[in-house]
Structure 1
Amino acid sequence: MLLTIKKVKELYDISRITLINWEKEGLITPVRTPKGRRRYKKEDIEKLLGMLEEKPKPKVVLYARVSTKKQEEYLKNQIRRLEEYANFQGWQYEVISEIASGVNENRRGLLKLLNKIKRGEVEKVVIEYPDRLARFGFEYLKFFMESFGVELIVLNG
């Protein structure tokens, strides 16, 4: 449910300034109408107020990638091997997988992973081979992850 600033004030007695400050701090992200007006998700407001319990997010991400649709079976096997490893370690995990070239710089799965790392939602990233993460620039990505305290685990290589 989306709420106007006025409705948030009525329901929760939160001022417009507080909402905008929360937005600046990155605690809340409003949905914008076509005219640019802010609308807030009821769940987001209640989560900030401690009214909703937040589900614990998996801190381990298993990342799998293949280059072409023809390799889809290999992708499934790659995910299975990563899951076997994570289960053996006793970890809760999330799988991010994609079919995209390792030299493509606009990969949704990789961008999702990097954004999770920036938000502090990841402790470990597990990949099967270095080239599953990127054909070029693997060391840069590893450095990025380590600078956010994320451990990169490469199973083979």
Structure 2
Amino acid sequence: MELLSIGEAAKRLGVHPNRLRAWEKQGLIKPVRLPSGQRRYPVEEINRILGTGGIKAEPDAVALYARVSTKKQADAGNLERQMERLRAYAQEKGYRVVAEYSDVASGLNQNRRGLERMLKAAERGEFKKLLIEYPDRLARFGYTYLERHLKYCGVEIEITSQKEPEDAHTELVQDLLAIVTSFSARLYGARGGRKVQQGFWELIRDAEETQEGQI
């Protein structure tokens, strides 16, 4: 009996190794355990799954992800309203919501608890679509890489709205300010970073006043 490692089995099935672990817990696939405790998958078991078209989450199973940058926004109800709009969209489309994830953090922050939980669930094959209001909710930068990883996990991102909310401009300014402050502090030290930060805000105010005067 030919046995495959979890990596080899996942590659043949075209899924993430974590999905095989999830299938094992659900009793959908039966690996062989070596004396060392390592999993090995019989080729016959892999061929059985391939012959039945694979084991997939129901096509209408979706997860929701919402994010706001600050606690002030969350306290004002922005996060819950964002999630309610996603729920309404899913209901209108006839999707079955199997999980909801959210974060109160900058889109620049890669260490978000909700984002991490969502990615792990995607790797386990728990849903087929991820609903977000617009790309910046998922990530300010690096969206394409997250999209590619989710696609590898068999998950499609569905953007429910192309129109950004009114406070999106403020969030963008805050994120840009965080980047400028971080790099300035590295180049000029903490004191120099604060000076650059102050100058950055003054430039933004001048630009906004100029724009208002042209309207």
Decide: shared fold, TM above 0.5: yes
- Stretches of 4+ aligned residues off by more than 2 angstroms: 17-21
Task: Work out which of the residue numbers 151, 154, 158 in structure 2 matches 1:146.
Answer: 151
What is the correspondence of 1:77-116 to structure 2 with a 5 Å cutoff? 77-93=81-97, 94-116=99-121
| Structure label with greater radius of gyration | 2
1:67 aligns with 2:52: no
Distance in structure 2 (CA, Å) of the matches to 1:114 and 1:64: 14
Q: Residue in 2 aligned with 1:34?
A: none
SS in 1 for 2:140: coil
C-alpha deviation, 1:140, in angstroms? 0.7
C-alpha deviation, 1:18, in angstroms? 7.2
Distance in structure 2 (CA, Å) of the matches to 1:111 and 1:20: 30
Query: How has the CA–CA distance of structure 1 residues 109 and 20 changed in structure 2, closer, same or farther, with 3 Å as cutoff?
Result: farther
What is the correspondence of 1:1-150 to structure 2 with a 5 Å cutoff? 21=37, 24-25=38-39, 59-72=61-74, 73-93=77-97, 94-150=99-155
C-alpha deviation, 1:133, in angstroms? 0.1
Distance in structure 1 (CA, Å) of the matches to 2:36 and 2:119: 26
Identity of aligned residues (%): 45
Query: How has the CA–CA distance of structure 1 residues 19 and 100 changed in structure 2, closer, same or farther, with 3 Å as cutoff?
Result: farther
Question: Residues 30-66 of structure 1, C-alpha deviation per residue, up to 9 Å, x if partnerless?
Answer: xxxxxxxxxxxxxxxxxxxxxxxxxx9x931000000
C-alpha deviation, 1:20, in angstroms? 6.5
Question: Residues 77-100 of structure 1, C-alpha deviation per residue, up to 9 Å, x if partnerless?
Answer: 100100001111222212111111
Distance in structure 2 (CA, Å) of the matches to 1:141 and 1:69: 25
Q: TM-score by structure 2 length?
A: 0.47
C-alpha deviation, 1:141, in angstroms? 0.5
Query: How has the CA–CA distance of structure 1 residues 153 and 18 changed in structure 2, closer, same or farther, with 3 Å as cutoff?
Result: same
SS in 2 for 1:63: strand
SS in 1 for 2:125: coil
- Could you tell me which runs of 5 or more consecutive residues in structure 2 were left unpaired when the two chains were aligned: 1-32, 40-57, 163-215
SS in 1 for 2:91: helix
Give the number of the structure with larger relative contact order, counting CA–CA contacts within 8 Å between residues 6 or more apart: 1
Richer in helix (by share): 2
Letter in 2 for 1:150: V
Letter in 2 for 1:84: A
Number of corresponding residues: 109
SS in 2 for 1:144: helix
In angstroms, what is the RMSD of aligned CA positions?
2.2
Distance in structure 2 (CA, Å) of the matches to 1:103 and 1:61: 22
